[in-house]
Amino acid sequence: MTRRSETAALAALILALAASLLAEGAPWFWPPATGDDPYCLSWRVMVEANNAKGWRTVPPPCVGYVWSYMAWGQYSRDVGSVADQISAYAAQLAPGADGLDAWVFDVDDTCLSNMFYYQTKQFGAYDPVAFKAWASRGICPGIPAMAQLFQTLKGRGFRVFLLSGRGEQELGSSTAANLAAAGFAGYDRLILRSAGYRGVSAVVFKSAMRRQLVEEGFRIRGNVGDQWSDLQGDLVGDRVFKVPNPMYFVP
């Protein structure tokens, strides 16, 4: 080919690419505007406000939206904003000298990110076998703003309890190793689901575990989770904080 025909071919390729982008919407790897799809933005806000409940998968038209939201900055920004709110609230509290002022953190998608797993599943229905295989690898990245917050709270003299619905027997050691590798070292206790609580709802299990902490004398000053089921039920704490999660819903 001559240089002129090469240039023409390249121009045609670029034009075709641009036309396909305009026709189909941006592909998954293309950074979108933050708010992008008005319908999916409405849906995401409903999830965060606990208006949309019991959904089993991300609505099919919003799979690309959720992918972009998670991957291209707005999720990180939202988590960072929530961490700032928590930090500002905690700064007003004076932990007692008795060492009983405590925070409760959920684990999955509060401390550790399962984004990569849910991306490969296209945010589809819950698959317990595949999720267990993923979680047992112990390679979930830590969520940076939360790891920093965790250290801030520890540094201010709070006790921090990690409370997760993961099965203790199957996932106890991999979860502990994952947390340590992801910047969550120095928590007071990692409370997982023992055999006796298998099949019990998150609200009931977590309420029972919090009751145990309160009976031991701890004052739950704050409670942080990505699911409303982390934050409702009994003895939820003085203040609850919802970490964004439009990927899945735990009843």
Query: Which spans of this chain sit near its own copies (rule: CB under 8 A)?
Result: 33-39, 41-46, 48-52, 73-74, 77-78, 80-82, 85, 240-242, 244
Judged by beta carbon, residue 86 or residue 191, the one nearer its own copies is 86
Judged by beta carbon, residue 50 or residue 173, the one nearer its own copies is 50
Tell me how far, at minimum, the Cβ of 239 lies from its own copies, in Å: 8
Tell me how far, at minimum, the Cβ of 46 lies from its own copies, in Å: 6
Enter the tokens of residue 47: 């999830």
Judged by beta carbon, residue 77 or residue 137, the one nearer its own copies is 77
CB 97 within 8 A of CB 154: no
DSSP line for 134-165: HHHTT-PPB-HHHHHHHHHHHHTT-EEEEEEE
Tell me how far, at minimum, the Cβ of 89 lies from its own copies, in Å: 9
Tell me how far, at minimum, the Cβ of 32 lies from its own copies, in Å: 9
Nearest to 247 by CA among 39, 102, 68: 68
Q: What share of the chain is helix, strand, coil (3-state, %, to 5)?
A: 50, 15, 35
Rounded to 5°, angle at Cα 224 from 221 and 230: 110
Judged by beta carbon, residue 132 or residue 239, the one nearer its own copies is 239
Element (H, E) at 166: strand 159-167
Tell me how far, at minimum, the Cβ of 162 lies from its own copies, in Å: 20
Q: What stretches of 42-145 adopt beta strand conformation (E)?
A: 101-105
Q: How many residues in total does the chain contain?
A: 251
Judged by beta carbon, residue 89 or residue 116, the one nearer its own copies is 89
